Every structure is written in structure tokens, then in C-alpha cells.
Chains A and B, each alone.
Chain A
């Protein structure tokens, strides 16, 4: 298993910091990609930040009310070693599903 630290991203408009309003996940929890993980407030707006990836939450940084600078650690995930690395996710090997059935009269000439 490997740990991946996700820093507070640039939330746009040149803002350099954000205040934690409420964490929506906690350490030990498994999260999916795009699942909302934290409510943040900037001097422009309040927003929910989606998870950049799937994984188990190892640590969260900042209690409600704390201010975090862009680029500082926000959350740390634990992920299997065989994840795609910098981009993408490992596809699941799922059982094939179908809705279409074939029907044909085959002339065997």
C-alpha cells in the first residue's frame, strides 16, 4: 500500500487560502472518486470539494474553522500499490453484462 497526499488545490480566482467548514469524511473511511470530502469557504464562496481519487482516508488536515493555504496538505489517502499512478484508475474486472440477445436463422450452405 502507498500513501498519496492531496494538497489544497487552487480553487480559482487567485485565492490563496480556504477555511474548513466541515469534514464529510473521516480517517479510516473508504471514499470513491468524486465523492464530496470537505466543505470549504473562501473569501468568495463556500464549496464542496470532490475527492480526486478513490482510496482509504489516512489523515485529514485542519479542523472546522482552521485556514489552509493552497498547496498545503489537505488529505492523505492509502491506495493499493498497483493503482495507475499519476492519472487514471485501475479498471475493475467485471462480469460481462448484456441487454441485447441475438436471433438469427443461419443457412449453413
Chain B
């Protein structure tokens, strides 16, 4: 494969046309869950409105009718109960796939997530693993009220025992969810809700075919590997590091920067715990400049962790300190103000300009 796929939405559909289907992230996640239920008789899906309604975002649509009320069911409006029940089900040998309806509703279940799910395996010396895939519709961008637009990745990533992943496109969403649901460890699966409706090519036969560029194919079964980051766009001058909904925005920024003669690489981290430090080193080792973009507030956000990992591997060759373009250190605003809060194209371009202008004093 000689060409770099810059964005799965624009991928050449002639390549493996039969296997590649256009679908939204909603549809890709729905199909993945359907197949997980079919493949693993111990998998169970539950949450608020997950059953009869099919989820407020239609991710579990039709699954209860197809797989039965014992495997896909509604819960009371109590996240502590949803996650507490997941602990018991996991102890009894099930693979729970609970849903917290919105990011901001994970807070009532923090005790169950941090004190039970994350450390039961450790506490029991490996006799009680917690194979739980917690789906959390995450981040902002849909003009929703309070508690419906938050970015909790740094909270989750800070907790030993949890893994955290966020897909940016339908193809990754399909494959990463299926992969997460085979893990013996708890995985927090953060779905970028503002990207639910955008369609893109999904190759259900191969995780590698669409999003992973040939340049970073490490020879594993998944090309760039489902456990690592992916280069969403190759470039020479600067690396934009992003995840979730910010990947699409960074790809737009890269196209605009190209008009100004700046060749930008976009690295889609995908996994936020553990972070693919090797991919960061490869990319920034080449470009020597980096800007991290996330929706979460600045202070103690994951951008700080990414900046440190880059500094660790690329300190000697970096042209400038790693910049961060993020949300602000305020509670997530109401929908009317979220365009001012979420990093927009101009704020990202300003961040890029600061890095380009930096000179050692």
C-alpha cells in the first residue's frame, strides 16, 4: 500500500470494495455489540434505556429483540448500581458490557469503578479478574446540558488497573470495541458522541485495512496494532496528537496548514491508557514539533502526560516545547458556549504557530 490514508471518510473504496461498507459509528458499534453477543455467550449488555429503547444514541438498537431480555436489559437510573452489578457479574464469570448513558453520569459510579473494578483482580491475586467493557458516550459537541459533554479520560487513566480507549472513526470503533470485549481487564470505552452520525468505511474483515498506514505496520496481525496509536495523516513539520472527536478536527487543521506550506502529521492516540509512547517517539522524532489537542480542561489533563512522554524520547531534537490546545479550567459550559470551549480550528492553528515561532533564547 503506497498511499497514506488521511481520513477513513475519504479512503479509496476501490480497495477491497466488497469487504468495506459505509456506516456510521452508531451502526459500527451496534454491529460490533451484536457480534460480541453472538460470539460470547457470557457477554451481557445493560444500562439506562439500553434494552427496549435501544439506547439514547441507538447503539444497542434491536439487540434486546434479537438476543433476549437476559442478555440486553434496562437498569434503574443508578450508575453505582450498574457498575456494582458489573462487579458481581464479572465475579460470576460473565463479561459485562455496561453503558453509562453520558460521561457526567460516571461520577456516581466512581467508587465502583475505582475501588472495585480497577483493583479486584489485584486484590484477589488474580483469582477474580474483571473483564468489564464500560461504554461511555463522551466529550462534547452536541449542544447538550450539564453532565452531557465532559471528558473524563484523565480521571480514568490515572487509576491503576483500568485501560482507556477512544475511537475516532467508525472502523476503529467497530474493531476496538470487539477487541476490548475480549480483554480480561476492565476497559473504559469512550465513544465520541459528536462523531456518532458521521459515516465512514468499515472493513469488518480486517482491523488493519483502513486506518493504519503502511509506514507504521509493525507486522502484527493488526497492522499498526489495535493496541497502539495510528498515524491518521503523515507529515514532516509538526505532529498534532489527538483522540476521539478532536482527530477529525486536527485533520481539518492539517489540510488548512498545508495551504500555508506546513506539512502536519496527525497521530490518533486511540489508547489513552496505556499510551503508545513508541508511536509518539516515532512521529515527533521525525517532525520535532508537537501540539496536543484535547477537549478536557488544561490542568492535569492527558496533554501533560503526552508532553512528558514526548520530552522523554525526543528532548534532544525537539525544536520547541510541546504545546497544549485544550478546553479551559472551568466546568463544561452549556451547549450555547461549547464552540468557545472546545478547541476550534483557529485555536489549534495559534498553537501550531507558537511552536513554529519558538526559538531557543
Q: Which residues of A contact B (CB under 8 A)?
A: 33, 82, 84-91, 93, 96-104, 106
Contacts and interface: CB of A to CB of B under 8 A. Distances in A.
Nearest to A108: B236
Contacts of A98: 256, 345-346, 349
A85 B236 CA distance: 42
B229 to A, nearest CB: 23
Given A86-B56, A98-B256, A102-B260, 9 more contacts: A84-B142, A85-B56, A87-B144, A88-B143, A90-B142, A93-B198, A102-B352, A104-B353, A106-B356
A98 B356 CA distance: 18
A28 B314 CA distance: 60
A101 B144 CA distance: 32
Given A96-B255, A99-B346, A104 B143 contact: no
A74 B56 CA distance: 23
A85 B144 CA distance: 11
Contacts of A104: 262, 353, 356-357
A93 to B, nearest CB: 7
A96 B193 contact: no
B19 interface: no
Contacts of A91: 141-143, 194, 197
B336 to A, nearest CB: 8
A87 B198 contact: no
- Number of contact residues on B: which range applies? 35 or more
A89 B57 contact: no
Nearest 4 Cβ contacts at the A-B interface: A88-B142, A104-B356, A88-B144, A100-B349
B40 interface: no
Nearest to B194: A91
Given A88-B142, A91-B141, A104-B356, A82 B262 contact: no
B174 to A, nearest CB: 18
Contacts of B256: 96, 98
B80 to A, nearest CB: 21
Contact of A90 (B197, B255, B345): B197
Nearest to B55: A85
Contacts of B49: 86
Given A98-B256, A99-B346, A87 B237 contact: no
B143 A103 contact: no
A87 B345 contact: no
Contact of B346 (A33, A88, A100): A100
A104 B256 CA distance: 14
A31 to B, nearest CB: 15
B194 A102 contact: no
B262 A87 contact: no
Contacts of A102: 257, 260-262, 349, 352-353, 356
Contacts of B102: 87
B58 A85 contact: yes
Given A100-B346, A100-B350, A88 B356 contact: no
A88 B102 CA distance: 11
A82 B346 contact: no
Contacts of A88: 142-144, 148, 193, 335
A98 B262 CA distance: 15
Interface string B253-289: 1011100111000000000000000000000000000
B353 A89 contact: no
B345 to A, nearest CB: 5
A91 to B, nearest CB: 5
